[in-house]
Structure 1
C-alpha cells in the first residue's frame, strides 16, 4: 500500500464517498489514467515529482513502471482505499486536499503588461520549438506546414476576437483542436492556455468564456484524443494544473525571480506542451489587454 500525498478535492471526495469505479485507460512513466464508469471522465494518478491538477492524485512513488499496472486493470474503492487491480492500493487518510483557484484579472494592468512582455521574450528564447514556437530548422515539410498552420490560425483567431466577432472567432479556435503531434497536440495545449485566461474573472473576454469554450468542446471530442480532450474540458471551466495558476499569480506581481521560476516549471511540462500552453497564456493576455482589459 502507498499513501496519497495530495490531490484534487473533488477526486478525494468521490473516493471518500466510495462512488468511484473504473478501469486503467493508459499508463506512462510518471502517470496513469483511469476512466471512471460513473461519468466517463479521466482521472490521473501521478508520482510525487509532478504538480497538482484537476482530477489528479499525487502519490508517494518516483515512477509508475514499478507498479506493473496494465491497461484495463479494474479500479474500485473500498473503505476509502483505492484499489487498482491487485497490484496497487492507495490510501488517502493522510492526503492534503488541493483546489485550484484562478486569480482575477487585475484592475491595474501596468505590472501585468510588463510581465507578459518579459514572459514572451523568455519563451521565445528558452521555449521548445516544434509547435507554437517555430523551429529555426524543421525536420520535415510536414512539421513546417503544421507550424505555419498554427501561426495562421492563431492570427485569424486574434483578429476576430479583437473585432469582437466572437461567432466568427469560434471556427478558428476549433481549427486548432488536434493540430500538431504528440499526446496533447500543440493546438490543444495552446487552447488550454487561452481557456485559462478566458476564465479569469473581470477580464474583457470573461463574459464570452462559456460561449467560446463550450462551442469548441462540442466539436473537440471527435477531433482529438481522450487525454487531451479531458485537459480542454477542465480548462474550459477554469480547472488547470497548479503550475499554470502559479504562473498567473506571478504575472500579477513585480517579482522577476518568481516569474522566471514559475515560467520554467511550466515550460518543463512534456516535450513542447509547456511552451505551447505558455504561448496560449500570452495570446490570451495580449488579446485581453488589447481589447480593453478589465470589464467595467
Structure 2
C-alpha cells in the first residue's frame, strides 16, 4: 500500500456510470494493473478495472477523467504494476460529472432508408481511410480467419438464431494484434450497432449472456472489461458517437465521428468501426429480410 498522507486528494472531472458501482461492490483498495502514457488501469479483486485518463480522452463506463495536471500528478507518485492504493484517499469523485451510457435512452430509428444510405457512405469512408492492419484489411491473416465466422454469423442472425450467432462471435475474441485484440474491438463495434439501433431484448440477451460468461477465458483482462461493458450497452463516448452518426446523422457527422475513432489505439478505432459497419449491415438485412452479400 503506498503512503498517501502527504498527497492532496485529486478531484475527478468526470466518471463513467460504472465507476461508483465498482467501488461500492468492493474495497476501495485497488491494485495498479498497468500504466501507459495516457492511461492508468486499476483493478479490484473481482477483476473490474477502473481506468484513469487525462481530460482530452473519451470517457467510458469505467473511466475516471482527470485534469491534465492532476493526471500528471497522479503519475508522478511513481506507482508500479501490482502496487496497492486506496482509491478514496487519492481521488474524489464526489463533485464529478457522471457520463451515462446512452443505450437505454435513444429513440428507435424511423428513417431506415437514411440509415442504409449512411451505412453505404460509412463503408466507403472506412475503405478509404481506415487502418487495415486489423480486421478491416481484406487480405491479412486475421481477416481471412474471420471471414467464415462472419459469414456464419450473418446467416444465423438473419434466421433469428441469436444465441448461435453469439457463439460464432466468440470465435473472434483474442484474434489479432493490440492490447485490445482486433477481434475484440470488432465485436465491441457489433454490440455498439445493436444497442444504438435499439434492437429488441431477445436479440440482445443471448449475445450479451454468451459474451459475459465466456469471453473472459479467451482474451486479456483489459479487453474483457471492454467487452463485458459493451455487452451490457456501455461504450466510450466516441464509439457511441460513431454508431449514432451512422444511424441518425449525415455524412459530415459520420466523418467527424470517424476522425475521433482514429485516435483510439493503433488499429482499434478502425476495427471497432468495422464492427459497427458489420453490425449495421446485418441489422438492416434483418429488418429488410434480405441476405447479406
Q: Can you list the C-alpha shifts for 1:201-260, whole angstroms capped at 9, x where unaligned?
A: 643x64221111211332211110000001000000101111111222322334322221
Equivalent in 29, 42, 46 of residue 37 of structure 2: 29
Superposed displacement of residue 16, structure 1: 8.8
Q: Could you say which residue in structure 2 is the equivalent of 1:181?
A: 177
Deviant stretches of 4+, over 4 Å? 12-19, 62-67
State the shift of 1:19 in Å: 5.2
* Pair 1:196–1:42, CA change in 2 (3 A): same
**Separation in 1, partners of 2:117, 2:63:** 33
2:272, 2:49 → 1: CA distance?
20
CA–CA distance in structure 2, aligned partners of residues 15 and 209 of structure 1: 27
163, 188, 191: which one aligns with 1:192: 188
- Counterpart contact for 1:247–1:262, Cα < 8 Å: yes
Q: How far apart are residue 192 of structure 1 and its match? A: 0.5
Distance in 2 of aligned mates of 1:25 and 1:166: 35
> Pick from 53, 63, 73: which aligns with 2:83?
73
Write the mapping of 1:140-289 to structure 2, written as runs, cut at 5 A: 144-200=140-196, 202-203=198-199, 206-289=201-284
Residue in 1 that maps onto 2:17: 9
Secondary structure of residue in 1 paired with 2:145 = helix
Once the two structures are overlaid, the 10-residue window that deviates more, 273-282 or 8-17, is: 8-17
- Distance 1:197-1:277 versus aligned 2 partners, 3 A rule: same
Determine the structure 2 residue equivalent to 1:105: 108
SS class of match (2:253): helix
Q: Note if contact 1:128-1:272 (Cα within 8 Å) is conserved in structure 2.
A: yes
What is the aligned partner in structure 1 of residue 3 from structure 2? none
Please give the TM-score of this superposition, normalised by the length of structure 2. Answer: 0.85
User: Aligned in 2, Cα 1:227/1:12: closer, same or farther, shift over 3 Å?
Assistant: same
Q: Which secondary structure does the structure 2 equivalent of 1:169 belong to? A: helix
Instruction: Tell me which protein shows more helix as a share of its residues.
Output: 2
Q: Which structure 2 segments of 5+ residues have no match? A: 1-7
Aligned residue among 129, 134, 145 for 2:132: 129
